[in-house]
Each structure stands twice: as structure tokens, then as C-alpha cells.
A and B are shown apart, each in its own frame.
Chain A
């Protein structure tokens, strides 16, 4: 791997297990940034809590590492306060679809121009191996002792059903293809979801590297991601999971474009000044 402008002078002490899929994802993310010549000072990484959520710690850029489940409201507000920033959210399946499920639904509806990379390993890592919303039926854990019996959450199908702006699925084992999908997601204007499948070497022995290898396939070049019906069909396939860009909807305006401050100006909020004379006029009008 080539060095990246997002590397640190001193390599950070990383908290991931040896062999974790997160190491591949960070390579894909950094090289996507490098390929796109992203100016380092204009990127903001946003995350929640969990092993995936530690990603911003290891990328040399600004970050907002807030609360478990709350990365999407934070990212949405950052973009809405300064649309000139490139906002990338990284968190796990538990943080994004479990604790933050309501915010996930709201993000699909708001359509902020942010990129949401969800590390989906179908298990809770940092809390030591409980089921996640995407865990498959029958998956046994110290809490789900007889195996998971809930319907697994299907993020890409929900996103397509909600007419999301950009919906993709990737597999960390293929860094090059994952990088290309991430690049498309960043370049896409609007909310971009990339559900990134990856193995958890410590707590998920069922869905390991070879399981993903044999249970995924790439959408072929002829696949048309603008066809919502097809996208829905593809997104509910559960036997073998399709990888690639499942759906693109470029019609809806972004959240920021709809906000009052940006009707006439692109200037971020911090460059605005209160029109104190206007405020005094309004107060005076109340007197008369």
C-alpha cells in the first residue's frame, strides 16, 4: 500500500484485533480520499461508538467522535452548518442500525449530502459478541443462547424502499472494489449508504472471510442502478448477497439545499453575521 496524506507521522496504536476487516476498510477509505485528491482540512470524519467507530482516530483529518448511535444527526448538522465540508460517517452495524435506527430512517428521508460507511460484520464486537441487527437467524451468542430468531435488518432494502439517494454494498476482502464504491459514494450528491460487509475474526465464526467469499457476488456491468424495482429485487436477495451500487436516485434535492440559509448563498454559517438592524426593525414594528 502506498503512503497516504491521511497517514500520521507516528503510526497510531490501533485497537483492532489482528486480522480484523477494519484494516482493509481503512486502506480502502484512505486510498479513496487520495485518489480523489481530497483536501485534508476539508474532510470531517464522524462516528459513533464501537470498534468501527474508532476509524477517525486512525485517519489524519478532523473528526467528531460522538455518542453511540448518534453519528448521523451529528454528520447532518455538520454538513448543514458548513456545506463546503466533505462529511464521511463511519460506524458499525449496531451503532447505525440498532442504537441509531431512528436516525438512519431520518437520514434516508432528509438526504444530507454525506457518505455513510457502515462496517457490517453481523455481530457486536466491543461489547464482546452479542447479536447485531444484521445477525443471521440461528447465530448463537452468550445472550442469544438458542440462536437469533429475529428477522435480520436489511439496510439496503430499507434504503431502496425509502428512495434513498445512493445505496451500495461492499465487501472488505476486496479493497480495490470497495475503494471504487466508496469513491462513487463520496462523489455522489446526496445521502450515500455503503454497507460494508466484513469479518469479525474474534466474535463471528459463522460469517467469516470464506463465508463472505462464497455468499456474495458482484452486480454485472449491465445492471442499471437507476431502476428502483430492480434495485429492490436485488436488495432483498439473501442467499447470495449482491455487491456494488444497487440504487441511485439523483432527483431529490439535498437537505442543505432546502434550508433557508442556503437559498441565496453557499457561505457556511460561521461566515454569516447577524443583521442587527433588521432585528431592531422587527422589534420596532412590534411597538408600532
Chain B
């Protein structure tokens, strides 16, 4: 299939517990070392063993960091794998698999099926555990990747394994390479050339890891959370780094504990974060309101998944924007960020700590399963300590925590630093932090808290415009749909479409209406049913979109489905 494409989409599909994710990482690293751009998205069933999980790896010559319907190479890892992908396997797909994983009904009906006895090969070497290395070798051979480099990668990866095991791994790799070279000679699969951009300086990472590193760069030193898919990996990653960066990491008995701990840690001089998903955040809403009352900094990461209630625990959705915006009783300012790519994920998590501290408000970081479980590359990050340090004041005997100021921001003291005392009360309080029912004091404190909304203005992150300045059609989106929309605009061939993407969704930037008014046709793309961001924009601007492109089946948007939509724009 000569198609002139510069990217190849590989899908590995098998049961949970088979090590597909290990293979995914090995392959991603190998492709990247070969100078190609890589991206992957994994989807799982909510179970520990069995079922069907898959990962889609895109290897390309230019950046292509989004989900694709098209499958160029499909590798089944068990019976039933093909059936589950029946709709996406086409005559252009090359299926490479062990005969045991290819059901008879897929033979002789026009599919390109290459059967290789992987199981037997692995068994001859020493068992099923070597299957991953055989498959890795297969792709090394197929892509014609330098064999020494691949050996080096495997030896490094398994450096802690026994010598015999390493040699067997190399043997498995060689067998795979042999098979891969055979397929390459057949010319069935077009291999993307090396990337035009230098991938060697970029780092390979997944969404959960980038949030963690961004948090560390923001000076995070306290994480209290209760495990909940898909946000748990952030907790796990913080635990991994707790020793190296002196981070208190505590698995709380529930999300209520988690959020109260985080707020109290800020009170005592920590820089705290919680990580959760919609259901866990629901339990945190009283705590969120507490942060509002105490004017406590707080960083909450919400990895969204489809609801309501338990919903689809391992799937993706953007269904909690309005929930996080309106959660918590009473009125108080907050900030909501929604990173569109991994660079933004790093920068915004870091910035979340700084903004939370600077304005003494809760900052919510909205990601989703697609963002967290994808793997991609980040073109390096530059960090300094400018956002990692506490903005606190040394107290004296006259210190008052809620001193009324013009900006609404009172100097933040912490107990034990200075000679003063620091008094926080969830009841309405006077400047000293003591309970009051004085109406004038109440009004002064409400005004003070809400003035921070104005003060935050200069730090507000404007939306990013991608595409022509003189656009005819304007697509708007927020969060993790960024890359997919950009790729789909290109794929649609429409040069009159621009994307306006929001990584800060609240407070909504004041330029919003101006952008919308310039367009002849407007559309919004969201991974939810009700177009929550669209509703928010209507609330602030009165503006109604011409077209709403919404998806809520639990999967992210694909490039193809968005491109089809964009082609139809009037």
C-alpha cells in the first residue's frame, strides 16, 4: 500500500495483564531512538485481568499527537482481539499475528493477514514472557532500525535482569527482527521516514508523569489523595519521587480527608495538591468551599472520566467543567486550567501552585483519561525556582490574617514563622480570623475575597489562536482536544478554519467575544453531551455557536471524524 503517508498507526490489542503496556513503552522508545516522532493512546476495560485492552502507537515523520481511527498495522495478542476492532480493521490494514489469535472468519476475505508463529518462537526461547521482545524485534526489522541500537536499548532496559535472561531477550529480539525484515521485503507496509524535527532532545512521557513533574517544579511537597482512575498514576508518581524531593505522600482514608489535609498543609507552610476524578472531587466540594472561606491556596487535579456516578471508570470525557466551576457552597474566586498538550500540562501544573499561592485561591487542573494515559514527547522544559517558593510573610504580634487590602490579598502568615499568631476560621471572620456576625465586617470580607478576581486579571492566560488571523470559521475548544483538532483542520484541507483553544477556562478571558464576532461560522468541540464550555461562553457573552461537535461514548475524538465535520462547515 503506497500511500505517501508520513505516519504509521500500529494497534496492539490483548487481554489485561499480558504486558502490552511494557511492549508499548519498549516500542515507543525504540521508534523515538530511531529518530521518529511517537505518540500513543491506551484504552482499557475496568478490570485487572482479561477483557480487551489496546494501545495505538503512531510513528510519524512530523508531530501527530492525536487519536486516529485508521489502523495500518494490527497486532492481536489473544483470541477476540480482532473481533473487538472489526469496524476499524479494513482492507488497508495489515494484520500481523500468531495463527492462534486470528479467527478463521478473517482469512480469505480481503484482509492482508500475515501469520507468524510468535507463540511458538517465544516458547522455543523459554516461554510466553519473551513474546514482547519478539514483537519488538518484528518492528525493529520492519522499520530497518539499526540492530546494535536496539540491542543496546534492551540491554539497558533489562540491565538488572540475570545475564541468562538478557541473552534470551536478545535471542527473542533477533527472531523478531528476522520476521520483520521478511515483511519489509514484501513491501506491504510503508515505513515513515525519520522526523524532520530533532526528536533526540525531547522527552518521552505520559500525562500523569508530566502533571507530577510540573507539580514538583511548582514546589509541591505534600500530596494527599485517595486512588481513583484515571488520576491514580499522579499519586503513584509522586510516591515514586517522594524520597528524592522530600514530598509527604499520604493515601487518605477518603477524599474528604485528602482535601482537608491539603488545605491544612498549606496553612502550616506546605505546598499541597490532591489528585482525583469526578466522584472523588464530589466528596471534596465542602473542602473546596473551605479553601474559599479560609482563602487557602490549594491545587486540585481532576482527571475526568465519564459519569454520572461510577460511569465508565477507565474511559475519557470532558464532563466535569461546569461541576468544578460551580462546586462548593457560597461564593469565592477560583481558577481552572485545562492543558491541551504535555508542555501545557507541565507549565500549568507548575503555575497552578504559584497562582494558588499568589492569590490564595483554589486552582483546579482539569485533565482526562485521554490526556493522562497517552504517551508523547515534550520538547524540553525550562524551569527555575520562580514558582516553587512559598509567598509568605513573617508574622509579628499585630499580625492579622485577613487584613483588608486594596488587592484583596492579605499577607499570608503561617504558624511558627514569626512572633504572631495565625487564626483561620471557616465561619465568617474578622480581620484577625475570629468569628463574627457583624454585617459590615461580613460585607468587607466578601468584597475583599471577590476583589481578587479583578487582581488576577493580568495573570489570566489568554486563549491561543491557531491558524489564519483572518479566519472565516472559528473552532473553539478547551483541554485535551487541542492536538486532534489541529491535525483534523489540516486533514480537512480547509485553510479558512482557525482554532481558538483555552487552557484557562475560568475566569473566562475577556477577549472571547471579540474572537467570536470576527468569524462567519463558529463551532465548538467538546467531549461531552451538553457542550459545557459552550454554555459557559453563552453565559458570559450571549453567543450561540453555529455548530456543536460533541462526543460522549467514552473515547476521545479521532482525527478522521473531526476532519469530516470540518469539511462540512458552511
Size category, B interface: 35 or more
Q: Tell me which residues across on chain A come within 8 A of B244, comparing CB atoms.
A: 278, 282
A40 contact from B248, B421, B426, Cβ within 8 A: B421
In the bound assembly, the distance between CA atoms of A41 and B419 in angstroms comes to: 6
Are A66 and B253 closer than 8 Å at their CB atoms?
A: no
Q: Tell me which residues across on chain A come within 8 A of B264, comparing CB atoms.
A: 46, 64, 66, 73-78, 81
A105 adjacent to chain B (CB < 8 Å) = yes
Q: Which residue of A lies closest to B427 (CB)?
A: A65
A2 adjacent to chain B (CB < 8 Å) = no
Q: Tell me which residues across on chain A come within 8 A of B258, comparing CB atoms.
A: 73
Residues 19-65 of A contacting B (Cβ, < 8 Å): 40-42, 44, 46, 49, 54, 56-57, 60-65
A232 adjacent to chain B (CB < 8 Å) = no
Are A280 and B383 closer than 8 Å at their CB atoms?
A: yes
Are B421 and A274 closer than 8 Å at their CB atoms?
A: no
Given contacts A103-B257, A286-B204, A287-B202, contact A279 B245 (CB under 8 A): yes
Are B425 and A65 closer than 8 Å at their CB atoms?
A: yes
In the bound assembly, the distance between CA atoms of A178 and B424 in angstroms comes to: 27
Are B260 and A261 closer than 8 Å at their CB atoms?
A: no
Are B426 and A287 closer than 8 Å at their CB atoms?
A: no
Q: Mark B341-380, 1 if CB is under 8 A from A, else 0.
A: 0000000000000000000000000000000000000001
B270 adjacent to chain A (CB < 8 Å) = yes
Residues 419-438 of B contacting A (Cβ, < 8 Å): 419-427, 433-435
Q: Tell me which residues across on chain B come within 8 A of A282, comparing CB atoms.
A: 213, 241, 244
In the bound assembly, the distance between CA atoms of A200 and B212 in angstroms comes to: 49
Q: Tell me which residues across on chain B come within 8 A of A44, comparing CB atoms.
A: 268, 415-416
Are A41 and B261 closer than 8 Å at their CB atoms?
A: no
B256 adjacent to chain A (CB < 8 Å) = yes
A129 adjacent to chain B (CB < 8 Å) = no
B336 adjacent to chain A (CB < 8 Å) = no
Q: Mark A80-108, 1 if CB is under 8 A from B, else 0.
A: 11101100000000000000001101100
Q: Give the Cβ gap from A177 to chain B, nearest Cβ, in Å.
A: 29
Are B260 and A276 closer than 8 Å at their CB atoms?
A: no
B263 adjacent to chain A (CB < 8 Å) = yes
Q: Tell me which residues across on chain A come within 8 A of B434, comparing CB atoms.
A: 12, 57
Are A283 and B203 closer than 8 Å at their CB atoms?
A: yes
**Contact residues of B: prevailing secondary structure:** mixed
B385 adjacent to chain A (CB < 8 Å) = yes
Are B254 and A272 closer than 8 Å at their CB atoms?
A: no
Q: Give the Cβ gap from B343 to chain A, nearest Cβ, in Å.
A: 12
Are A61 and B421 closer than 8 Å at their CB atoms?
A: yes
Q: Tell me which residues across on chain A come within 8 A of B257, comparing CB atoms.
A: 70, 73, 102-103, 106
Q: Give the Cβ gap from A192 to chain B, nearest Cβ, in Å.
A: 19
A81 contact from B203, B254, B270, B294, Cβ within 8 A: B270
Are A64 and B267 closer than 8 Å at their CB atoms?
A: yes
Given contacts A60-B421, A62-B415, contact A268 B242 (CB under 8 A): no
In the bound assembly, the distance between CA atoms of A263 and B421 in angstroms comes to: 29
In the bound assembly, the distance between CA atoms of A84 and B416 in angstroms comes to: 8
Q: Tell me which residues across on chain B come within 8 A of A105, comparing CB atoms.
A: 253
Q: Which residue of B lies closest to A102 (CB)?
A: B253
Task: List the count of A-B residue pairs having beta carbons below 8 Å apart.
Answer: 198
Q: Which residue of A lies closest to B286 (CB)?
A: A67
Q: Tell me which residues across on chain A come within 8 A of B388, comparing CB atoms.
A: 273-274, 276
Q: Mark B219-257, 1 if CB is under 8 A from A, else 0.
A: 101101000000000000000011111111110111011
Q: Tell me which residues across on chain A come within 8 A of B420, comparing CB atoms.
A: 41
B203 contact from A70, A77, A106, A286, Cβ within 8 A: A286
Q: Tell me which residues across on chain B come within 8 A of A269, comparing CB atoms.
A: 221-222, 246, 248, 265, 268-271
Q: Tell me which residues across on chain B come within 8 A of A66, comparing CB atoms.
A: 260, 263-264, 290, 294, 424, 426
Q: Tell me which residues across on chain A come within 8 A of B294, comparing CB atoms.
A: 66
Q: Give the Cβ gap from B560 to chain A, nearest Cβ, in Å.
A: 31
Q: Tell me which residues across on chain B come within 8 A of A263, comparing CB atoms.
A: 243
B418 adjacent to chain A (CB < 8 Å) = yes
Are A270 and B417 closer than 8 Å at their CB atoms?
A: yes
B287 adjacent to chain A (CB < 8 Å) = yes
B484 adjacent to chain A (CB < 8 Å) = no
Are A57 and B435 closer than 8 Å at their CB atoms?
A: yes
3 shortest interchain CB distances as A-B pairs: A270-B269, A74-B264, A81-B268
A residues touching B (Cβ–Cβ < 8 Å)? 12, 40-42, 44, 46, 49, 54, 56-57, 60-67, 70, 73-82, 84-85, 102-103, 105-106, 259-261, 263, 265, 268-276, 278-280, 282-283, 286-287
- Residue contacts A-B, CB under 8 angstroms, 9 given: A63-B421, A66-B264, A66-B424, A73-B261, A81-B270, A261-B221, A269-B221, A270-B270, A286-B205
20 new A-B contacts, CB < 8 A, other than A82-B416, A106-B253, A260-B247, are A41-B418, A41-B420, A63-B433, A66-B290, A73-B260, A73-B261, A76-B261, A85-B415, A102-B253, A102-B256, A102-B257, A260-B243, A272-B246, A273-B385, A273-B389, A276-B383, A278-B245, A282-B213, A282-B241, A286-B205
